[in-house]
Amino acid sequence: MREEPKKYMNPYLAGFILGFVLLATIYITGRGLGASGALKSVVMQTVNDVAPSHAENTAYYKDYNASHPDGPLKSWLFFEVIGVIIGAFVSGLISNRVAFKLERGPKVQKSTRIAAAILGGALFGFGSQLARGCTSGAALSGMAVMSFGGILTMMSIFGMAYGVAFFFRKLWINK
C-alpha cells in the first residue's frame, strides 16, 4: 500500500529560498539563473558532433564555439540544469511524489495531451531564444537586478499565459 504524498513546502518559504539562491548566484558568478542556455549547449554539442563541417562553416556556430573553448557542455548552465533535474527527483523521492502519470482532462486523449505539451514546450523554447532567455533567466534574474526588460518579460509571460489558459484549460482540468 502506497503512503500519501507529503504536503508541499510553504510557498512563501520556497520563494524566499529561491530569492536567496538567485542573489547568491548573482554574487558568486556575476550572472543570474537560467535554463534555456543548457538546452542550447546540448544542441550546439550535437551539431558539433553530428555535422562538424556545418559547425565550422556557419558564423553562428563558430562564434558560439569560440566563446566556449572547452566545449558547450562545460557551460555552468548545463550543470545547473543537471542539478535541478537531480534535485527535483530527490525531492520527489523524499516527498513520495515520484510517479509516471499523465494529467489530463477526462475528454482529452493521451496523444492529444502529449502533443499539446510538446508543442507548448517547443514554442516556449523558441520564444526563450528570441527573448534571449527563459522565465528564470530573462524574467526572474532580470527582475532581481531591476532590469526594465526583465520586468516586461515577466509581465508578458504571465499575461500571455493568463490570456491563453482559458482556451487550453480542458487539456488538464477535470471539469
Looking at the structure of the chain, the number of domains it has is 2
Tens-of-pLDDT digits for all 175 residues of the chain?
Answer: 566 777 788 889 988 998 898 888 888 888 778 787 788 888 899 999 999 999 999 999 999 889 888 888 888 888 888 998 999 899 888 888 888 888 777 778 889 889 988 998 888 888 877 777 777 777 788 888 888 888 888 888 889 888 888 887 777 676 5
In terms of domains, do 89 and 53 share one? Answer: yes
In terms of domains, do 88 and 140 share one? Answer: no
In terms of domains, do 59 and 106 share one? Answer: no
User: Given this model, what pLDDT does residue 166 score?
Assistant: 84
In terms of domains, do 90 and 10 share one? Answer: yes
Domain that holds residue 145: 102-175
d(CA 68, CA 42): 13
In terms of domains, do 117 and 89 share one? Answer: no
In terms of domains, do 82 and 122 share one? Answer: no
Q: Quick one: which of 110, 115, 94 has its CA closest to 6?
A: 94
**Residue 19 main-chain phi, psi, to 5 deg:** -60, -40
In terms of domains, do 172 and 132 share one? Answer: yes
d(CA 103, CA 120): 15
Instruction: Write the single-letter amino acid at 84.
Output: V
d(CA 93, CA 30): 33
In terms of domains, do 17 and 77 share one? Answer: yes
In terms of domains, do 27 and 71 share one? Answer: yes
In terms of domains, do 86 and 119 share one? Answer: no
In terms of domains, do 90 and 106 share one? Answer: no
In terms of domains, do 72 and 114 share one? Answer: no
Predicted structure pTM score:
0.70
Phi-psi region of 61 (alpha: psi -120 to 50; beta: other; left: phi over 0): alpha
3-state secondary structure of 24: helix
